[in-house]
Amino acid sequence: MVNSIMPRTFFYRQKLSHWKVFTWIVAAFLVNHLSAFSQSHGGATRIYTDYDGFWTSATGAINPVQPDDSHHLLGFTWQGTVYSTGVNDSQMTLEGVSYSPQVYQAFPVRNVQAKSSGTYIGLGQIYDGVNDGISSPPPFSVPPNLSGFLTDGLQGLDYGTGVANVAAGNVIFDFSGIIDPLQIGDGIPDILVTQFANPSGTLDEIFLTDASGNQVGNSLTINHNGIAVLGQWIADFYELNGNSAAFTNESRDLRLWVADLESFGINMGNYETVRSLRYRLNGSSDLAFAAYKVGVFDIVAANNDEGITTMEEPVVLDVLENDLPEGLLDPTYLTILAHPANGSLSVDTNTGTISYTPNPEFFGMDQFTYEICGAGGLQCDEALVTIEVQQIFLPVDLLNFSGTVHQGKGIALKWATAFEKNSWYYQIQSSTDGKNWVVQGEVEGAGFSSKTTTYRHFLPLSGDGNVFFRLRQVDQDGKTTYSEVWAANFERTQPRELKVYPNPSDRELWLDGGDSCEEEIRIYDLFGREKTNLIKCVTDAPCLNRLEIDRLPQGIYIGIRGEEFFRFEKN
């Protein structure tokens, strides 16, 4: 048997070949890793919004249509992948866009400061309802809450509202921590920052901190001029006093910067200490919002709500339904920060619902603000609720309502309608003070009528002085409305003193009887200042004056009619 020996040169060549392969593998890993890290933040290349239903624009393919009102970010493209924001994924699907479904929410924000001059409220140019101009009053309260413009709209992602030229300093976005460290470095952007006007060459800085404000990981600088323009919008830039605008109906660029947490140097060793995001502005930054990917941060985010009801009809609002994250919200911390001006509220801390009841006879828009916190009440956010109270128009057109006094016999009432639909009956009510009403009878309605219908009803009543009458119309659905009040004057059996009612009052005041019926009426406040010009006096019957006092400020007033004095309270 002959033993064969492998040549030494072949062994060395084989060993060198294995070393080359290993080196190439390591090099490829490092290149890919460093490339991924270097690309973990930067500018998006396309955005999708809900302007006019659906709108998209991209670097190199700028849409010639420029949004001029509120519009919300539906999605964006980063490194070739489209990510949705969860605002309206069904619309993205309907438009045939393939996307990675995500949910983004605007950061709750505090200490947004204005400069001494040059800070503006940026709004889509028809946001205020005025084309090529500004509205009066402005479409926001004065002084404005700047933070509200960075969190308004669906999930706070309104690209058509924001603050331009925020003062230099730190804008602080708070949260309780990072709850899913496995999403660090997954390639999906965790943080979005918008820019919607003309950036300067000065760099902004963004970084994460612990609970004491100490930086965790590394900071990143944002050069907005180095971020590609995605599209343009048309805006008005209001002065903070709301009385004027620095610019109206002008076009501005839209940009979007995105970042993965990995780019901040956040890893498994330090993520547990992170408690806030700090955005150090240079004094010329223009923010619509800064947002985060839901599920990464432990953040309570309350979103604005809207509701609709009708006059005097309660409505129950599930205000927490669109607040995030659902599992963190604690209804026991649901509180009211600002009550509505024209209604009352009832909070159910078991279900997290709020019941709103409009004040009697009120219709129009009403608002209130609530706050919700997470477990333990450590982190909270607030939201605005807007209620539309719709006026009830019953299907009866009442033309007139009056009567005739037959002394010693009673009152003959008469009224007419132009048309009726679904009417049931008319209830006749009377009052001797204009405040407390008594039912005197009912008359069946026509039900359905397209021509003038006249009604008559006789009441065998007697009285002394003035007696008031009104109709309560009821339709077949149970809805009701009231006619104007008509006053009947019975002959007096004996002189009566001057009566003033209802007192106090917020709208009308009646002067009944007295000895100076035909004399001029004058009104004074307790400082002796005449306020007669703020009231309107109507004589409804002899010795019966109706004063319309709704323009008077709240307070105590003295009235003079001839030689008679009276005192009343406006509430």
Select the more confidently predicted residue: 24 or 496.
496
Give 298-325 pLDDT, tens digit per residue: 788 888 899 999 888 899 999 999 988 8
Separation of alpha carbons 381 and 370, rounded Å: 9
Positive or negative torsion for Cα 170, 172, 173, 179: positive
**Residue in this structure with the two tokens 């309907």, named with its chain if needed:** 94
Q: Which of 108, 207, 107, 112 is CA-nearest to residue 169?
A: 112
Q: What's residue 111's pLDDT?
A: 66
Separation of alpha carbons 510 and 489, rounded Å: 14
Q: Averaged over 162-191, what is the pLDDT?
A: 88
Residue 179 pLDDT level (bands cut at 50, 70, 90): confident
Q: What's residue 326's pLDDT?
A: 81
Burial of 556 (0-12, 13-18, 19+ CB in 10 A): exposed
The widest CA-to-CA distance across the chain, in whole angstroms, is 153
pLDDT at 194 over 80: yes
Parallel/antiparallel/unpaired status of strands 305-310 and 380-390? parallel
Separation of alpha carbons 154 and 289, rounded Å: 12
Instruction: Determine the CATH number of domain 499-570.
Output: 2.60.40.10
Q: What's residue 197's pLDDT?
A: 94
What is the average pLDDT value for the chain, to the nearest integer?
86
Give 542-561 pLDDT, tens digit per residue: 778 889 999 999 999 998 88
Listed ranges 240-249, 279-288, 407-416, 445-454; the one with the highest mean pLDDT: 240-249
Q: What's residue 495's pLDDT?
A: 53
Instruction: Determine the CATH number of domain 305-390.
Output: 2.60.40.10
Q: Averaged over 209-236, what is the pLDDT?
A: 95
Q: What's residue 526's pLDDT?
A: 84
Give 492-504 pLDDT, tens digit per residue: 545 567 889 899 9
Separation of alpha carbons 468 and 474, rounded Å: 20
Separation of alpha carbons 81 and 567, rounded Å: 75
Using an 8 Å Cβ cutoff, are 472 and 396 in contact?
no
Using an 8 Å Cβ cutoff, are 559 and 569 in contact?
no
Separation of alpha carbons 270 and 264, rounded Å: 11
Q: What's residue 202's pLDDT?
A: 83
Q: What's residue 13's pLDDT?
A: 37
Residue 394 pLDDT level (bands cut at 50, 70, 90): low
Separation of alpha carbons 399 and 380, rounded Å: 55
Q: What's residue 51's pLDDT?
A: 98
pLDDT at 489 over 50: yes
Ranges in the chain annotated CATH 2.60.40.10:
305-390, 397-490, 499-570
Residue 562 pLDDT level (bands cut at 50, 70, 90): confident
Parallel/antiparallel/unpaired status of strands 204-209 and 215-222? antiparallel
**Quick one: fold of 397-490?**
Immunoglobulin-like (2.60.40)
Q: What's residue 285's pLDDT?
A: 86
Which residues 6+ apart lie within 8 Å of 508 measured at CB?
Answer: 434, 546, 547, 548, 549, 550
Phi, psi at residue 32, to the nearest 5°? -65, -40
What share of the chain in percent tops pLDDT 70?
89
* pTM recorded for the entire structure: 0.61
